[in-house]
């Protein structure tokens, strides 16, 4: 298995957000994590990266335990992260933002990897543009390019289509499909758009109150299951 969670609980201060959370993920999959707002989806992503206050249980990547590793060390295992809100540094240029992703590369390469610019031609043509001037969709492209600069075997994307115009949602979806199906980069994405999840996903986790309440192949994600765990 590429990634395994075994009875993981994760905390902010004394508050437990993830509760005995277990799943595994095969290499090459696109795993969609679904559920209402506030149920622990973002905390799952931050737990994978080691960004919560503490966690218990076992986290393994390619069979190797990483639960005691610092965030920068986890990135060195080939985990790229696109956080909710994108985390773009507005005063940095496009080039500088992408180069931040290279710091965790095992090969210590300090140039922008070609894949970042091949996938996002707009960024290639605007490397010296200040990132704060980009549109929402362009910032999301930049956030994905920065994560790709890590040289990831798995990309974590927290609400990658949030706040983006419908035509750009389609474009981002096609890019993610290409990264997953053509380049073989595994994806874990949290998503509110059911259509996006069904189009991109191979498998799903449904989360409620910090626990996995359903899982399976994306074809098993029924309308009844969505209504039960995602409608307000």
Mean pLDDT by 10 residues, the chain (232 residues): 97 97 97 95 98 97 96 92 92 96 79 92 96 94 95 95 84 93 96 90 96 96 93 76
Domains along the chain with CATH numbers: 3-230 (3.40.50.300)
> Is the separation of the CB atoms in 107 and 182 below 8 Å?
no
3-state secondary structure of 101: helix
Q: For the whole model, what pTM was predicted?
A: 0.93
Q: What pLDDT, in 10s, does the model give residues 167-223? A: 888 889 999 999 999 999 999 999 888 888 999 999 999 999 999 999 999 999 999
Angle at 147 between CA 143 and CA 149, to 5 degrees: 115
Which one, of 19, 34, 2, 25, lies nearest residue 195 by Cα?
34
Which one, of 176, 192, 204, 173, lies nearest residue 230 by Cα?
192
Cα-based torsion angle of the residue sequence 70, 73, 74, 80 in order, rounded to the nearest 10 degrees: 120
Whole-number pLDDT of residue 107: 76
- Angstrom distance (rounded) from CA 111 to CA 107: 11
Please, which residues have CB within 8 angstroms of residue 178's CB and are 6 or more apart in sequence?
A: 119
Q: How many CB atoms lie within 10 A of CB 194?
A: 14
> Is the separation of the CB atoms in 40 and 18 below 8 Å?
yes
Whole-number pLDDT of residue 169: 86
- Angstrom distance (rounded) from CA 125 to CA 51: 33
- Angstrom distance (rounded) from CA 196 to CA 166: 11
3-state class percentages of the chain: helix first, strand second, coil last, to nearest 5: 35, 30, 35
Question: Environment class of residue 166 by beta-carbon count within 10 Å: exposed (0-12), middle (13-18) or buried (19+)?
Answer: exposed
Average pLDDT over the chain reads 94
Element (H, E) at 227: helix 223-230
């Amino acid at each position: 298995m590429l990634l395994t969670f075994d009875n993981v609980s994760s905390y902010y201060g004394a508050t437990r957000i993830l509760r005995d959370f277990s799943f595994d993920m095969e290499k090459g999959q696109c795993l969609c994590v679904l559920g209402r707002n506030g149920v622990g989806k973002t905390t799952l992503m931050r737990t994978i990266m080691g960004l919560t206050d503490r966690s218990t249980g076992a986290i393994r990547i390619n069979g190797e335990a990483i639960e005691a590793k610092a965030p920068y060390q986890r990135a060195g295992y080939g985990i790229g992260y696109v956080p909710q809100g994108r985390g773009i540094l507005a005063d940095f240029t496009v080039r500088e933002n992408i180069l931040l992703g290279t710091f965790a590369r095992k090969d210590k390469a300090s140039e922008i990897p070609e894949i970042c610019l091949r996938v996002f031609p707009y960024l290639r043509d605007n490397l010296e543009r200040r990132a704060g001037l980009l549109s929402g969709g362009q910032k999301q492209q930049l956030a994905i390019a920065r994560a790709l600069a890590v040289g990831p075997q798995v990309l974590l994307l927290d609400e990658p289509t949030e706040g983006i115009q419908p035509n750009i949602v389609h474009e981002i979806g096609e890019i993610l499909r290409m990264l997953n199906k053509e380049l073989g980069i595994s994806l874990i994405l949290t998503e509110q758009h059911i259509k996006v999840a069904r189009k991109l996903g191979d498998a799903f986790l449904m989360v409620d109150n910090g626990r996995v309440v359903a899982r399976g192949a994306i074809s098993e994600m029924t309308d009844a299951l969505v209504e039960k765990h995602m409608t307000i």
